[in-house]
Structure 1
Amino acid sequence: MLFPTLTFGLFFLVVFTVVWAANGSNEWRKILLLVASWVFYGAWDWRFVALLIGSALLNWGSAELIWYNRDASAGRRRAIMIAGIAGNLLILGFFKYYGFFVEQLGDLLQMAGFARDLPLMQVVLPVGISFFTFQGMSYLADVHAERLAPAKLLDVTLLMSFFPHLVAGPIVRGSDLLPQFADSPRLTRDTVSMGLVLIVWGLFKKAVIASELSTGLVDPVFFDPVAHSQIDLIAAAYGYAVQIYCDFSAYSDMAIGIAALLGYRFPLNFNQPYRAVSLQDFWRRWHISLSSWLRDYLYIGALGGSRKGFARQCLNLMLTMLLGGLWHGAKWTFVIWGGLHGGVLALERIWERLRPRWMPRLPRVLAILITFHIVVVGWIFFRAESFDAAIGYFRGIATIGVTSSVLTPLACVLILFGMAIHFVPVNLGQKLALRLRLLPVWAMGLLAGVTILIVDTMRFEGVAPFIYYQF
Structure 2
Amino acid sequence: MSYLSIEFGLLFIAFFALYWACNLLPKLQNRLLIIVSYLVVISYSWQFALILFVYTCAIYLFSVMIATSERHAKSWLIVGLIASITNLALFKYFDFFRYELQSLFNFLHLPITLPVVAVLIPIGISFYTFHSVSYLVSVKKKEIAVAKFEDFVLFLSFFPSIIAGPINRAKEFLPQIAITQPRAVLQPFRAFTLITLSVIKVYCLGGIISENWVNPIFANPLEFNVIDLLVGLYAYAMQIYLNFSGYTDLVTGMALLLGFRLPINFNFPYLSLNLREFWDRWHISLSHWIRDYIYIPLGGSRRGFSRTQVNVMLAMLLSGLWHGAGVNFIIWGACHGIGIVALNVGDRYLGRGWISKRSPFVARLLTWHYVCFTWLFFNCESLPDAVDYLTALTHNFLIEPHFAGAFLVICFIYLAYPICKDVPDWFISQITKINQSYLPFIFILILWLAIYIAPSGVPNFIYANF
Aligned counterparts of 2:81 and 2:365: Cα–Cα separation in 1: 40
* Pairing 1:113-128 to 2, within 5 Å after superposition: 113-128=109-124
The aligned amino acid for 2:458 is: V
Aligned counterparts of 1:413 and 1:153: Cα–Cα separation in 2: 55
- The reply on whether 1:339 has 2:350 as its aligned counterpart is no
* Pairing 1:69-218 to 2, within 5 Å after superposition: 69=69, 72-73=70-71, 76-183=72-179, 184=181, 186-188=183-185, 191-218=187-214
CA deviations over 1:88-111 (Å, ceiling 9, x no partner): 112111111000000011110111
Q: 2:465 aligns to what? A: 470
Could you tell me which of 301, 304, 307 is aligned with 1:306? 301
Aligned counterparts of 1:417 and 1:23: Cα–Cα separation in 2: 48
* Pairing 1:195-344 to 2, within 5 Å after superposition: 195-300=191-296, 302-344=297-339
Q: TM-score, normalised to structure 1's length?
A: 0.93
Displacement of 1:269 after TM fit? 0.6
Closer, same or farther: CA 116–53 of 1 in aligned 2, 3 Å: same
Closer, same or farther: CA 357–466 of 1 in aligned 2, 3 Å: closer
Closer, same or farther: CA 155–414 of 1 in aligned 2, 3 Å: farther
The aligned amino acid for 1:101 is: F
- Give secondary structure in 2 for the equivalent of 1:424: helix
Q: 2:23 aligns to what? A: 23
Closer, same or farther: CA 25–222 of 1 in aligned 2, 3 Å: same
Displacement of 1:414 after TM fit? 7.0
- Give secondary structure in 2 for the equivalent of 1:118: coil
Aligned counterparts of 1:412 and 1:425: Cα–Cα separation in 2: 19
8 Å contact 1:56–1:157 — kept in the other structure? yes
The aligned amino acid for 2:212 is: G
Q: 1:355 aligns to what? A: 350
Aligned counterparts of 1:329 and 1:42: Cα–Cα separation in 2: 23
Unaligned ranges ≥5, structure 2: none
Q: 1:401 aligns to what? A: 398
Displacement of 1:256 after TM fit? 0.5
Aligned counterparts of 1:155 and 1:67: Cα–Cα separation in 2: 17
- The reply on whether 1:453 has 2:451 as its aligned counterpart is no
Displacement of 1:215 after TM fit? 2.4
Closer, same or farther: CA 179–133 of 1 in aligned 2, 3 Å: same
Displacement of 1:439 after TM fit? 4.1
Closer, same or farther: CA 413–203 of 1 in aligned 2, 3 Å: farther
Aligned counterparts of 2:26 and 2:90: Cα–Cα separation in 1: 36
CA deviations over 1:286-328 (Å, ceiling 9, x no partner): 000000000011101x212011111111100000000000000
- Give secondary structure in 1 for the equivalent of 2:172: helix
Following TM superposition, where does structure 1 have runs of at least 4 consecutive aligned residues deviating by more than 6 angstroms?
357-360
Closer, same or farther: CA 5–316 of 1 in aligned 2, 3 Å: same
- Give secondary structure in 1 for the equivalent of 2:265: coil
- Give secondary structure in 2 for the equivalent of 1:164: helix
The aligned amino acid for 1:254 is: L
Closer, same or farther: CA 452–421 of 1 in aligned 2, 3 Å: farther
Displacement of 1:386 after TM fit? 1.6
CA deviations over 1:370-414 (Å, ceiling 9, x no partner): 111110111001111222221221111111134235x385x5587
Identical amino acids, percent of aligned pairs: 34
Displacement of 1:422 after TM fit? 3.4
CA deviations over 1:140-169 (Å, ceiling 9, x no partner): 111111222221111111111111111111
Could you tell me which of 423, 430, 439 is aligned with 1:435? 430
Closer, same or farther: CA 146–421 of 1 in aligned 2, 3 Å: farther
Aligned counterparts of 1:253 and 1:414: Cα–Cα separation in 2: 25
Aligned counterparts of 1:15 and 1:165: Cα–Cα separation in 2: 17
Displacement of 1:340 after TM fit? 0.8
Aligned counterparts of 1:357 and 1:136: Cα–Cα separation in 2: 37
The aligned amino acid for 2:214 is: V
Aligned counterparts of 1:340 and 1:468: Cα–Cα separation in 2: 20
8 Å contact 2:198–2:249 — kept in the other structure? yes
8 Å contact 1:200–1:448 — kept in the other structure? yes
CA deviations over 1:156-194 (Å, ceiling 9, x no partner): 111111111111111111122111112255435x61110
Aligned counterparts of 1:282 and 1:390: Cα–Cα separation in 2: 23
- Give secondary structure in 2 for the equivalent of 1:165: helix
Alignment RMSD (CA, Å):
2.0
Q: TM-score, normalised to structure 2's length?
A: 0.94
8 Å contact 1:231–1:402 — kept in the other structure? no
Q: How many residues align?
A: 463
